[in-house]
Structure 1
Amino acid sequence: MFFSKKIRFIILPFLGLGLAAFLVAMAPEPAAKTPNIVLFFIDDLGYGDLTVTGALGYKTPNIDKLAAEGTRFTNFMAAQAVCSASRAALLTGCYPNRVGVFGAFGPKQGLGLHPQEETIAELLKANGYATGIFGKWHLGSDSIFLPKQQGFDEYYGVPYSHDMWPLHPWQKQAQYPPLFWIDGNKQVKEIKDLNDASALTPTITEKAVSFIKRNKKKPFFLYVPHPMPHVPLAASANFKGKSERGIFGDVLTELDWSVGQIMKELKDQGLDDNTIVIFTSDNGPWLNYGDHAGSAGGFREGKGTSYEGGQRVAAMIRWPGVVPAGRVSNKLLSNIDILPTLVKLTGAKLPKEKIDGIEFADLLKGDDSKKPRENFLYYYRKNSLEAVRKDNWKLVFAHPGRTYEGSLPGKDGQPGPAPEDHAIPLALYDLTRDPGERYDVYSQYPEIVAELEKIAEAAREDLGDDLQKRPGKNARALGKVEK
């Protein structure tokens, strides 16, 4: 025997420590833990409806905190300025007309996002994620189009906009059917009036918090498309009458509370540092609702238009330790870019079919030398190319469109006029110095016009253009119920 018993007890622990240190040094670094994702998608939230973007009469401290602890994107575009189209774009990474979606689907239309289109939820689920949506779907209310058929494990919410009900303020002749909460694929509870509607935000919040608790041990994708502040506005008793801005301010205060509750749950479960939180809106404000509508923050027009007030929306992304805090990025991006970026960050696979989104992972992480997107296409109606953009030059084509200008807005939940066939003139805008699109410089920059026309021609060839009665070579089919 080489060592006494006493000496062995002294030396062996040191040998063990040395071996352990050697093994740690030789072992590969562990892979970064797959991040969770929380995606807030707010309905009809204008660019100026947060205190961080200039709102008055109420405060949004929890949402502002996302900007303070992450990056705020000031040049972020909804893919189209209307509900269903914008949601289709977000979830598929495509211009909505590529996947055949346009406008806002009503109940019993038999239309929806085609089941063969691949959504963020489907891509992440294939990569081991739990997936849940709590809020407004609006991509088809027939069972074949509902979220559980598009990659979501759980769904609790409303199938379309909550003004599509028997109490609609100006389309009573439409005779909308009763509006129900949907749990999975089943109708579970009718939303009969504004008192019932006041439960929208707190119920969605409760369901989202529960989803986090139940899925804390695996990566998850939580999609929270809040129905508010789309009209009709309703706030729960804890918030009603509490702001200086009336019911609109009350609703925004409650939405901010909802964000705070979900962020608190992430922290309570120890998930805060490993969760990507994205906050944005489907389109700009519905301005003809006056005191029940938000603010476009100085941009021209609002929801349903291809001016910046319709499509430029608030956007911020937070991921502690990865996304720089307190940063503002002015790079051009769109909600169609979220899907490929999440795919890149999570190691998931891209859809099999062509998409239009461009991943911006390096820019998101702080590399400001990156310029992922140079061009953007502004579509509306069924498939009408209404404007094109390169960098900060925007060419608006002559087209019939909505306008809120020149009419007195409504009040107390009743809408004012918003003509749909206003003659929008051909114009060129330099958004660098004229973000309000007030000064047409078309005649001064013929070379810029020619460059933008080339972009438009390529888009028409690819996706079509109803204004020119041209079909697109690469547009795909809308989902339809077979009769």
Structure 2
Amino acid sequence: MNQLARFLLLLALLISTKTRVVAALRDPLDRPNFVLFFVDDLGYGDLGFTGHPTTSTPNIDRLAWNGKTLTTWYSGCALCSCSRAALMTGRQYPRTGIRQVLGTVDDLGLPLEEVTIAEQLKKVNYTTGIVGKWHLGQRLAYLPGNQGFDYYLGIPYSDDMGNGKQTSCPGNKAEDPTEPVQEHLKGKPIPPPDGDYAAWYLPLLYQEHNKTRIIEQPLDLTKLAQKYNRFATKFIEDNKDEPFFLYFPFNHVHTTSGNNDKWDTMPNRQFASCELKNRTKRGAFGDALAEVDWMIGNVYETLQRLGLEENTMILWTSDNGPATPRRFDAGSYGIFSGEYAGYPWTGKASTWEGGIRMPAFAHWKGQIQPFSRSSQTISSMDVFPTFSHLAGVPLPSGIVLDGRDMADILLQENGQSRHDFLFFYGFCNGHWPRTGVTAVRHGPYKAHFCTSPGLGAGHESMTVHYNKYPLLFNVEEDPSETFPICDGNTLPENDPDARAAIERILRAYAMEKATFEYGKIPPLPPGPGEGKGHYGVCCNRSTNCSCESLWDDNFQSRLFTVGSEEHHARYHEYLGEENHMKRAT
């Protein structure tokens, strides 16, 4: 073979594998990519890899089995906004001032003084993107673009906080009650007392470098997953050569609301695309979960295709336990049933294991041992310090971080938890803000200082405070919290280890209460167009926040060249801006 032929052959090989060559030249530990999946209201018992008999989650299961299953992962809170505040900041949610679920027209949000994971990674030049549910404030000042994210596509709160469309699918009758069609919404919900009609319809937002556009209002839930999927895969494709952080907090599998507020009796309060409706053995919830699995599979296939597996850590978990009163429309807490409670509401909004102990795994080809697992205590708050460590960025100074670096647990066979006492703040006081310490995990023990039912119970008489000793379980031996070692009244006589643990727990509990500082959200002045009755996301108030969708093939083709200079120029041209920002380098 002559010299020219050899040169042409080498050139052809380089062209055909150029993305993998780029990835191979980068040290996997040098600012690795991070993909963080955060499913909404998914319980421990909902996945194939945690034992559900009819769930269809092959992509999730495959990633879990080829990574490390994390069997003792606790959410930062048993409710939506609070769990996300803890995840994003690495801090107990009451420290941030977020003490409740944020509504569609609230003037509050995650304080801008808080440092998010995205802001932390921006310090070392990560490109940051989020697709899905934000739920840390819907005002422009509080949206992801002001919290460290370069790109955002999603619903700024839960999908039951307004009406969305569910278009009919081929072969389905529109009048079928299991296939509600809301293209022409009737029986519109009553607006909140301040008259902000933005609460009527779910919006789909797009942000690029803090420039915001409402793409749809009301959005089409039937087609939402395709948009999320396209955005996520294109974000990876367009940022493959430099480190990126993709945060994917799914709106699935939270139940929807529609026009009928009787969510506890109306069937099939879930949504999925036409390709996945009525395709699983588990009904509408199973279809929605299968759609999550489909999106995750496509994200991972994109990482594989671009040769980014060895440069990318994937974390997967849920925000809180299932909304058990919603029955078949909600998830399952599996073995974390809280049998001792004597009531079925031990999921979402409770600090029983079913409300805060989440399914989770970590996957990183070449760094995390396949088919491994750890029962070490982990918190969602640990993500912030762990990503900081792996990205090589110092932790912020002058703030209290409650999360602990869990890199040793993920990357080593016998890594140990750095949580001696992991406190859980929750909802036992019977009124907002219900943010006191309710429980703590210490070694194999879980101690409750008060217990109450979760979402939808409404029975204040079921709240119990343990003022003498805590209600104590060994959750390594008794994960269903069925057989208490201490009932709160008398110390265990024949268990010196448990007695000693209770003494340590009481000392730590007293210290936690004495030193904990509750945060406040500094008020922000109204921005352009904001004010009383005008804090919600609204495309056009003259039409009561209902607008024709911008989502057509032309807009999609321009939107999903995310990250390119052409996209950046076209996007700002579309917004009518002559002097648009240059893309950060």
Q: Does TM, normalized by the shorter one, top 0.5?
A: yes
The corresponding residue for 1:21 is none
The Cα of 1:166 is off from its aligned counterpart by: 4.6
Amino acid at match of 1:260: G
2:369 is equivalent to residue 317 of structure 1: no
CA distance in 1, matches of 2:213, 2:478: 48
Alignment of 1:145-160 (within 5 A): 145-160=142-157
The corresponding residue for 1:181 is 204
Structure 1 SS opposite 2:504: helix
The corresponding residue for 1:242 is 279
2:409 is equivalent to residue 363 of structure 1: yes
CA contact (8 A) 2:71 2:374 kept: yes
Structure 2 SS opposite 1:222: strand
Q: 1:216 to 1:173 in 2, by over 3 A?
A: same
Amino acid at match of 1:177: W
Q: 1:419 to 1:73 in 2, by over 3 A?
A: same
Which residue among 446, 451, 455 is the counterpart of 2:508? 455
The corresponding residue for 1:482 is 525
CA contact (8 A) 1:277 1:318 kept: yes
2:334 is equivalent to residue 297 of structure 1: yes
The Cα of 1:56 is off from its aligned counterpart by: 2.6
CA distance in 1, matches of 2:476, 2:327: 29
Alignment of 1:20-35 (within 5 A): 32-35=29-32
Alignment of 1:159-178 (within 5 A): 159-166=156-163, 172=189, 175=192, 176-178=199-201
The corresponding residue for 1:306 is 351
CA offset digits 1:106-143 (Å, max 9, x no partner): 01211111001111101111101000001000000111
Q: 1:30 to 1:298 in 2, by over 3 A?
A: closer
CA contact (8 A) 1:77 1:334 kept: yes
Which residue among 443, 448, 451 is the counterpart of 1:396? 448
Higher strand share: 1
Aligned residue pairs: how many? 430
The Cα of 1:446 is off from its aligned counterpart by: 4.0
Structure 1 SS opposite 2:276: coil
List runs of 5+ in structure 1 lacking aligned partners: 1-28, 405-416, 464-471
Which residue among 287, 305, 327 is the counterpart of 2:372? 327
Q: Which runs of 4+ in 1 moved over 4 A?
A: 29-32, 166-169, 171-175
CA distance in 2, matches of 1:356, 1:304: 21
CA offset digits 1:399-445 (Å, max 9, x no partner): 5x3347xxxxxxxxxxxx52252323532111122111122221314
Which residue among 412, 417, 422 is the counterpart of 1:376? 422
CA distance in 1, matches of 2:121, 2:32: 11
CA distance in 1, matches of 2:32, 2:42: 27
The Cα of 1:343 is off from its aligned counterpart by: 0.8
The corresponding residue for 2:530 is none
CA contact (8 A) 1:79 1:89 kept: yes
2:475 is equivalent to residue 437 of structure 1: no
The corresponding residue for 1:15 is none
CA distance in 2, matches of 1:260, 1:479: 41
CA distance in 2, matches of 1:213, 1:378: 39
The corresponding residue for 1:254 is 291
Alignment of 1:97-136 (within 5 A): 97-136=94-133
The Cα of 1:31 is off from its aligned counterpart by: 8.8
CA distance in 1, matches of 2:95, 2:422: 14
CA offset digits 1:297-352 (Å, max 9, x no partner): 12031010000000000111111111111101000010001111111111012123
The Cα of 1:379 is off from its aligned counterpart by: 0.6
Deviates more, 1:113-122 or 1:381-390: 381-390
CA contact (8 A) 2:55 2:281 kept: yes
CA contact (8 A) 2:49 2:65 kept: no
Amino acid at match of 2:203: F
The corresponding residue for 2:458 is 419
CA contact (8 A) 2:408 2:415 kept: no
The corresponding residue for 1:408 is none
CA distance in 1, matches of 2:415, 2:29: 25
Q: 1:296 to 1:174 in 2, by over 3 A?
A: farther
CA contact (8 A) 2:348 2:454 kept: no
Amino acid at match of 1:325: P
2:384 is equivalent to residue 339 of structure 1: yes
The corresponding residue for 1:211 is 235
2:270 is equivalent to residue 224 of structure 1: no
Structure 2 SS opposite 1:280: strand
CA distance in 1, matches of 2:483, 2:401: 34
CA distance in 2, matches of 1:160, 1:239: 24
CA distance in 2, matches of 1:67, 1:372: 23
CA contact (8 A) 1:76 1:315 kept: yes
CA offset digits 1:202-251 (Å, max 9, x no partner): 22111100101110111100000000000011000000000111100101
Q: 1:72 to 1:205 in 2, by over 3 A?
A: same
CA distance in 2, matches of 1:420, 1:87: 27
CA distance in 2, matches of 1:266, 1:403: 38
CA RMSD, 1 decimal: 2.2
CA contact (8 A) 1:429 1:439 kept: yes
Structure 1 SS opposite 2:284: helix
CA distance in 1, matches of 2:190, 2:482: 38
CA contact (8 A) 1:204 1:226 kept: no
The Cα of 1:477 is off from its aligned counterpart by: 2.6
Amino acid at match of 1:478: I
The corresponding residue for 1:25 is none
CA contact (8 A) 2:205 2:216 kept: no
CA contact (8 A) 1:112 1:479 kept: no
2:109 is equivalent to residue 65 of structure 1: no
CA contact (8 A) 1:201 1:228 kept: no
The Cα of 1:398 is off from its aligned counterpart by: 2.9
CA distance in 2, matches of 1:33, 1:359: 17
Alignment of 1:74-113 (within 5 A): 74-113=71-110
CA offset digits 1:158-190 (Å, max 9, x no partner): 111111115899x95564332211111534233
Structure 2 SS opposite 1:132: strand
CA distance in 1, matches of 2:28, 2:450: 53
CA distance in 1, matches of 2:447, 2:133: 33
Q: 1:117 to 1:403 in 2, by over 3 A?
A: closer
2:127 is equivalent to residue 138 of structure 1: no
Deviates more, 1:377-386 or 1:225-234: 377-386
CA contact (8 A) 2:404 2:418 kept: yes
The corresponding residue for 1:202 is 226
The corresponding residue for 2:396 is 351
Structure 1 SS opposite 2:290: helix
Structure 2 SS opposite 1:48: helix
